[in-house]
Amino acid sequence: MAQKSSLSSKRFTVDRLLSKLGVASRGTSQEWIRAGRVQVNGRVIRDPATWVLWPKDALAVDDKSIKDSAKRFILFYKPKGVITTHSDEKDRKTIFDVLPTDLGYLHAVGRLDQATSGLLLLTNDSTLSSYLTDPRHKVLRTYLVSVRGEFTEGQAKDATIGVVEEGERLQCHSVKIQKSSGRESHLEVVLVQGKNREIRRLFKALGHEVTRLRRIQYGPFKLEELEPGAWREIPIADVRKALRL
């Protein structure tokens, strides 16, 4: 028996529906719609507030049909040098150029900047991604960080206290010094909330340039044996169990 859509016979604005289906964030969906990339019943629309009846109405992005597909959760080792987005106006390589196209529409849970490698979570379950990124849930992220110069215990304490940059507080949950010398220091850094380029900005404020940054864990999910560009899928039931949902 075919699985009945959880969104059956409901009206949504197109941008909200794309977000609910896990195709893209609401903001990204609005950009796609205004750019003429979204079709409803074969007709291009440009107003994100357009109402649709789902799943009765046919929805497509870039002429690819969108369906209320089974929920998926992927652990991906993002290589350095690719960006976390579906498309790029500068024609830079994205994570979706690396991942197989048959995975379907997935969105990243948060982002890693172009120069950062490591664990990136991808899903089409907007409820899960919202939980993982909500600061109220304090889902920890762990990084291995290399910086120029000698990093001291005093600076590690300063990093946990935090600094204010342009009105925004940047701080680590914890910093463990693995190796420190006058030339370079290696650290294990844990964040509670992954703000935009938070580690790079924080350590720059403390007088250290980040030369290497790799995320190895996000909540209970670990990079472990994955190689750059590789991925593995975790059943949604196991994901919810790991998060105690």
Can you give the pLDDT of all 245 residues of the chain as single tens digits?
344 444 456 899 999 998 888 777 788 899 999 999 999 999 999 999 999 998 889 999 998 888 777 889 999 999 999 999 887 888 899 999 999 988 877 889 989 999 999 999 999 888 898 899 999 999 999 999 999 999 999 999 999 999 998 889 999 999 999 999 999 999 999 999 878 899 999 999 999 999 999 999 999 999 999 999 999 999 999 999 999 98
Residue 46 shares a structural domain with residue 157: no
Sorted by sequence, the CB contacts under 8 Å of residue 170 that are 6+ apart come out as: 162, 163, 164, 195, 198, 201, 202, 205
Q: How far is CA 134 from the centre of its chain?
A: 12
Q: How many structural domains is the chain composed of?
A: 3
CB 21 within 8 A of CB 13: no
pTM to 2 decimal places: 0.79
> Is 113 an annotated catalytic residue?
yes
Tell me the residue range of the domain where 147 lies. Answer: 140-218
The Cα angle at residue 230 between residues 60 and 92, in degrees rounded to 5: 60
Residue 152 shares a structural domain with residue 189: yes
Residue 158: its pLDDT value, please? 96
Task: With respect to residue 3, please indicate whether it lies within any of the assigned structural domains.
Answer: no
Residue 50 shares a structural domain with residue 98: no
Task: With respect to residue 150, please indicate whether it lies within any of the assigned structural domains.
Answer: yes
Set 47, 88, 91, 113: catalytic member = 113
Task: With respect to residue 2, please indicate whether it lies within any of the assigned structural domains.
Answer: no
Residue 218 tokens read as: 């996000």
